[in-house]
Chains A and B, each alone.
Chain A
Amino acid sequence: MRALSKKWVALLGVLPALALVAFACGGEGEEGETFKIGVMESLTGPGETYGTVAVQAKQMAVDEINAGGGINGRMLELIIEDSKCNAQDAITAYNKLTDVDDVKIILGTSCSGAMLGAAPLAEEEGVILFSGLATNPDIANAGDYIFRTSLSDALLGVDTGNVLWADGIRNLVTITEATDYAEGVRRTTVEQFQKRGGQVVGEERYPSDTTDFRTQLTKLFNENPDALHVAAQAEFAGGTIIKQARELGYDGPIYGEVVAIGTTALEVAGEAATGTKAIITDLDPANAKGQEVLTNFRNRYDYVTLPWYLGSAYDNVYIAAECLKQTDDDQDADGFRDCLYGITWSGAIGDDYSFDQDGEVVGLANVVVEVLPLAERTQDNQGYRVLGSAPAE
């Protein structure tokens, strides 16, 4: 028992030792020499895929900027925290960044729940919260220091509703994952579709860990719909729904958003996904910067997923770098905010976009895409072809 006790004490002793190492590493006199920016993303938990892609894209952008000499001769440094897709962890991550690291500019988050948890603190303390991925419509009202390059779900739903109507769909059924993103998309889609004169003849919801949708789909198809709308948050579920819908003999059109045609979703659905239409924000093939970012990302990490979102996260860093160049002070959140309000940017996700008075991005638009047959899907085309812009009302 005595020997065991020593081991035990030694084990616990490792913790303070690690802390001391961290302290020593953190205090090597780099303060004042680098511009420090905080990053809060969902590195674990339900939004892990989005958070990881966002962090990797941001790190790639920072390395490029630093390799090019930095900003006004100073290097850019990211301090990354895991906000885990919930409010409590977003608040502790936020407080760690602002209180310990003394950061005034935070890029993130990838989850709307985390964003809405930290936003009141950021607004009260005058700290910038700048997201490339959060899409909840409520974020538009979150405050003067809250910005995003991701398009609100409200806009996505309006576009989806218009596409459905333009394609001659009159009776629609929906299946929706019970998350803020998917619920937001379904709600605004249905509102717009009904406003145009369409009718929703059936709707089903499922919790995030569901894998068998046959019962719900059978119930929906009994209503003889013109089309099925899939609002998913997890790609696996999105792909499985499409696959099981076809297995049940449904041959009508299927509509969705970016998740339903993501890399994993298409892999799960296979041939069943062919012809699925989605309304998404997409990297324009004609935009050289976007394609260059994709290529560099693939070369560096050996995979690509959620291309638009990684482009958005990448652009966030370059926009931040431009604003830091103007303010020359990473503690000047007000100057950074004013810079964002005044900036017009061309980058990986589009040309000449800017921010409105709510911090919402202006100048980017959704496009309609169609999934290609299995044989025609490649890494370069992501498995779909762009049909064009989403029609207006």
Chain B
Amino acid sequence: MELPIIGDIIRLSRDPKDSLRLSRSNLEFWVNLLIISWAVAFAIWQGVGFAITVGTVFAIWAILSVSLNLVVGFTGLLSVAHIGFFGIGAYAMAILTSDAAYEQLRTEAIPTLGWPFFAALPVSVGVAGLVAVVVGIAFNRFRDDIYVLVSFGFAVIAFNVFLNWRSLTRGAFGIHEIERPAIGGWVFDGELEFLALVLVSLAVVILIAWFLMTSSFGRVLTAIREDEQATEVFGYQVTHYKLAIWVISAMMAGLAGGLFGSWTTFVDPNSFVLMESILLVSIVILGGLATIWGSLLGAMAFVLLEEGMRFLPFLPSEFVGQGRQVVLGILLVVLMLFRPQGLVGRYKL
């Protein structure tokens, strides 16, 4: 896996004078250093408690961005459907593990299944994968701009299913009392334990993504991105490759969804709106296409920007929320103006 910052730091420690001179023109080195320093400073400054929360949000977004980069960056299929698979994973976890006595509440009732977390998590991943197979077979017929449009359609359909299939999802009321992970009598109810679990999941996702992208399979995907028809001419079943990476990516999003549902212990359709999908694509582009490290960096930069906005001191209290959104938007526009290929990316969209 490419970790440019580590290589730079090793060079710097071996030959500080020479490396520093080289690094002056190495933009990526400084970007990496800045974001990581910013993350460390943020954690120290805000204390462990909030850093754990921000770390959990980062890890969930990082799983999503790494998985989406497999499709958008490595394979060249611009999809905004990812939030749908994220939602499917979250809802699968919610429906299977929620133990609220809904019949006692005065709102929509759904069956209470009471599965344990670790039994439900593979199902979250599997259901997202199954839906991806069905959707992917249809999507394989499309490419380029039309692909964006149909993926947009899927995100809208998924949201509406979450909102309107009330006998299963409780519609707008959402599902609460979702199970936290437990092994024997040890419940991951602390934020630190949960962060550890999410980071382990992220590590697994990174390893799978790295393995895929450094294998011959990954090289075919890169070839598809560069020229799909030429790849076909060389005898590769392009549709199979595209379907496979689509399903793998969706399963990773399902994993993120399952973790998200358990972390929040409450899900409703508002968490899976199309806007979130667009933000996710922004993170992938911000970090850099076709780079796993870029996805991690993009997610880190985004979460730090958004959460960092909470500490801007000069906004009037009555307009604090709107002000943060405006500042965040401007920063993202400026980043894209100066760095359209993303923080550590090599390819433009």
A18 interface contact, C-beta 8 A: yes
A170 at interface, CB cutoff 8 A: no
Query: Are the C-beta atoms of A16 and B41 separated by less than 8 Å?
Result: yes
Query: Residue B38 at the A interface, CB < 8 A?
Result: yes
Tell me whether A43 and B172 are in contact (CB under 8 A). Answer: no
In the complex, the answer to whether A98 meets B49 with C-beta atoms within 8 Å is yes
A125-157 vs B, CB cutoff 8 Å, 1 = contact: the mask equals 000000000001110010000000000001000
- In the complex with contacts A13-B34, A22-B311, A44-B325, A95-B49 CB distance below 8 A: yes
Residues on B with beta carbons closer than 8 Å to the beta carbon of A56: 318
Tell yes or no: B321 within 8 A of A by CB. Answer: yes
Q: How far is the CA of A205 from the CA of B163 in the complex (A)?
A: 11
Q: Taking the complex as formed, is A120 at the interface, i.e. its CB lies under 8 A from any CB of chain B? A: yes
B107 contacts partner chain A, Cβ-Cβ < 8 Å: yes
A375 within 8 A of B: no
Q: A303 interface residue, CB < 8 Å from B?
A: no
How close is B159's CB to chain A, nearest CB, in angstroms? Answer: 8
Inter-chain contact A80/B317, CB cutoff 8 Å: yes
B97 CB, nearest partner CB in chain A, Å: 14
* Per-residue contact bits, chain B 292-326, to A (CB 8 Å; 1 contact, 0 not): 00000000000011011011111001101110110
Indicate if the CB atoms of A8 and B268 lie closer than 8 Å. Answer: no
Q: Provide the A1-39 mask, 1 if CB < 8 A to any CB of B, else 0.
A: 110110111011101101101110110000000000000
Residues of B within 8 A of A51 (CB): 321
Given known contacts A8-B27, A12-B31, A180-B172, A86 and B271 CB-to-CB distance under 8 angstroms: yes
* Contact stretch, chosen from A182-190, A216-224, A359-367, A383-391: A182-190
**Docked-complex contact A82 and B38, CB < 8 angstroms:** no
From B64-72, B202-210, B258-266, the one touching the partner chain is: B258-266
Docked-complex contact A11 and B45, CB < 8 angstroms: no
Q: How far is the CB of A8 from chain B (nearest CB, A)?
A: 5
Pair B317/A78 contact, Cβ less than 8 Å: yes
- The yes or no answer to A72 lying at the interface (CB within 8 A) is no
B110 on interface, CB distance cutoff 8 Å: no
What's the Cα separation between A22 and B310 when bound, in Å? 10
- In angstroms, Cα B312 to Cα A141, docked, is 36
Given A178-B164, A180-B173: A88 and B25 within 8 A (CB)? Answer: no
Q: Does A55 touch B at the CB level, under 8 Å?
A: yes
In whole angstroms, what is the CA distance A82 to B312 when docked? 13
Pairwise interchain contact A120-B49, C-beta atoms closer than 8 A: no
The answer to whether B266 and A117 touch across the interface, beta carbons within 8 angstroms, is yes
User: CB distance A116 to B321 under 8 Å?
Assistant: no
Return the chain B residue nearest A138 by Cβ.
Answer: B105
B21 beta carbon closer than 8 Å to chain A: no
A179 touches B321 (CB 8 A): no
B50 within 8 A of A: yes
**CB-defined contacts of B27 to chain A, threshold 8 Å:** 5, 8-9
Which interface residue of A12, A16, A82, A207 has the most chain B CB atoms within 10 A? Answer: A12
Q: How far is the CA of A2 from the CA of B265 in the complex (A)?
A: 49
User: Closest residue to A60 on the B side, CB-wise?
Assistant: B318
Question: Is B140 positioned at the interface, with any CB of A under 8 Å from its CB?
Answer: no
Residue A264 at the chain B interface, CB threshold 8 Å: no
Bound together, the chains give a CA A12 to CA B31 distance in angstroms of 8
For the residues of B in contact with A, the DSSP-based class is: helix
Q: How large is the interface on B (under 10, 10 to 19, 20 to 34, 35 or more residues)?
A: 35 or more
- A9–B34 contact, CB under 8 A? yes
Within the assembled complex, what's the spacing in Å between the Cα atoms of A23 and B313? 9
CB distance from B234 to the nearest CB of A (A): 36
* Interface check B228, CB cutoff 8 A: no
Contact status A137-B105, CB under 8 Å: yes
A154 touches B106 (CB 8 A): yes
In the complex, A368 has a CB within 8 A of chain B: no
Give the distance in Å from the alpha carbon of A303 to the alpha carbon of B176 in the complex.
Answer: 37
A207 to B75, CA, bound (A): 34
Closest A residue to B175 by beta carbon equals A116
Complex Cα distance A41/B320, Å? 11
Cβ-defined contact, B317 with A59, below 8 A: yes
**A43-B320, A44-B322 known; A19+B45 contact, CB < 8 A:** yes
Q: Which of A45-60 contact B (CB under 8 A)?
A: 45-46, 48, 51-52, 55-56, 59
Q: Does A85 contact B (CB under 8 A)?
A: yes
The answer for the CA separation of A136 and B173 in the assembled complex, in Å, is 8
Confirm or deny: A91 has a beta carbon within 8 angstroms of a beta carbon on chain B: yes
Output the residue of B31, B171, B270 with the most chain A CB within 10 A: B270
Cβ of A87 and Cβ of B271 under 8 Å apart? yes
27 residue pairs bridging A and B, Cβ less than 8 Å apart: A5-B30, A8-B338, A12-B34, A15-B304, A16-B41, A18-B311, A19-B45, A19-B311, A22-B311, A23-B45, A46-B270, A82-B321, A96-B50, A96-B310, A100-B49, A100-B50, A116-B268, A117-B264, A117-B265, A138-B105, A138-B107, A178-B171, A179-B172, A181-B172, A183-B173, A187-B108, A207-B160
**Residues of B near any A CB (own CB < 8 A):** 25, 27, 30-31, 34-35, 37-38, 41-42, 45-50, 53-54, 57, 104-108, 160, 163-164, 166, 171-174, 176-177, 189, 191, 260, 263-268, 270-271, 304-305, 307-308, 310-314, 317-318, 320-322, 324-325, 334, 338-339
- Per CB-CB distance, the 6 closest pairs between chain A and chain B, nearest first, are A43-B321, A99-B49, A82-B321, A95-B53, A180-B172, A99-B50
Given A92-B307, A113-B174, list of 20 further CB < 8 A pairs? Answer: A5-B25, A9-B30, A16-B34, A18-B312, A19-B45, A42-B321, A44-B321, A48-B321, A78-B317, A82-B320, A82-B324, A87-B264, A91-B53, A92-B53, A120-B176, A136-B107, A137-B105, A138-B107, A187-B108, A205-B164
- Give chain A's interface residues, CB within 8 Å of chain B: 1-2, 4-5, 7-9, 11-13, 15-16, 18-19, 21-23, 25-26, 41-46, 48, 51-52, 55-56, 59, 78, 80-82, 84-88, 91-93, 95-96, 98-100, 113, 116-117, 120, 124, 136-138, 141, 154, 178-184, 187-188, 205, 207
